[in-house]
Structure 1
């Protein structure tokens, strides 16, 4: 809970009463590695704040191949935000890559916070836009770089993740085979 309060104080600039109100609406949730926080084909019904662990956003392409789109670690919110807000069906999965501890807000509690704190939607939109820009900034160079450069960029953009997550997910994110990733890792070691 301490991590979440620190996050709120630094990012959202809320006073103690507002923080207490937000915290009172959160529920603790523990997910095991490989559990899903949100699934494709379903309407996302909750927002989570990652206290400990790593999640990945993934989907299946038209060939039925599983594609890892992004990773999110501690001190970040997770949800399929556009579909959560619009109450529409998601096209992607949010899966625990490690055992995870979260604080979770139901749709009802999220709306209640929004109604109580007039600046909440603005703060969340700003936070979501920053996350989107970060994701694009980390993902865009992957299109034009060679595989070794992509892997080095991954190490820089997701420090400490490579030792905590399956290499198959890293390879999928980088758009290469696991065998290619093994060769790259061997060559730069």
Structure 2
């Protein structure tokens, strides 16, 4: 639970009694690999914080192709914040790609935090803003890069993820076929 509290403290102040409340109202949950945490067009009723493991966010194209939008590793939230915060259906799926240890924050607990923890909403706003900036910084450069350049940048930014992500999912994220990714890897 300390990982979640430390993460939150990076975005704002929490009194000892706020930390105690967070620890009481959240739950560590072991989740098996390939477990779907969220399904497109449904409402998100819990936030998931990744303590151990890797999850991914993905969607399906009109042709039924599965496209990985991004991966979430340790010490990040793995949920559709817009769906959770604004009670709108999510547009993506969220799935574990390794066995995970997650910290679950149910909607009811989140609402208690909003009522009882001074500055909670501002803290969450800072987290969401940072996540959006990270997403833009991750995706925007990829639009003008070749598959090889995207792979090299992925290796540079996320070396710890390379051996934890199946190649077909990495290829989907990079916007290449798994055969192209194999060729890229062999050429290096």
Bin the TM-score by the shorter chain: over 0.9
Match of 1:122 in 2: 122
Shift of 1:15: 2.4
How far apart, in 2, do the equivalents of 1:9 and 1:46 lie?
A: 20
Q: Is the 8 A contact 1:138 1:157 kept in 2?
A: no
Deviations 1:41-65 (A, max 9, x none): 2111100111101110000011110
Give TM-score scaled by structure 2 length. Answer: 0.95
Give TM-score scaled by structure 1 length. Answer: 0.95
Q: Secondary structure at the match of 2:3?
A: helix
Count, aligned residues: 188
Deviations 1:77-117 (A, max 9, x none): 12111111222221110100100001101111111101111
Matched, 1:33 2:18: no
Match of 1:87 in 2: 87
How far apart, in 2, do the equivalents of 1:21 and 1:14 lie?
A: 10
Q: Is the 8 A contact 1:58 1:68 kept in 2?
A: yes
Q: Is the 8 A contact 1:52 1:73 kept in 2?
A: yes
Which consecutive unaligned segments of at least 5 residues does structure 1 have?
Answer: none
CA separation of 1:135 and 1:86: change in aligned 2, threshold 3 A:
same
Which consecutive unaligned segments of at least 5 residues does structure 2 have?
Answer: none
How far apart, in 2, do the equivalents of 1:139 and 1:98 lie?
A: 23
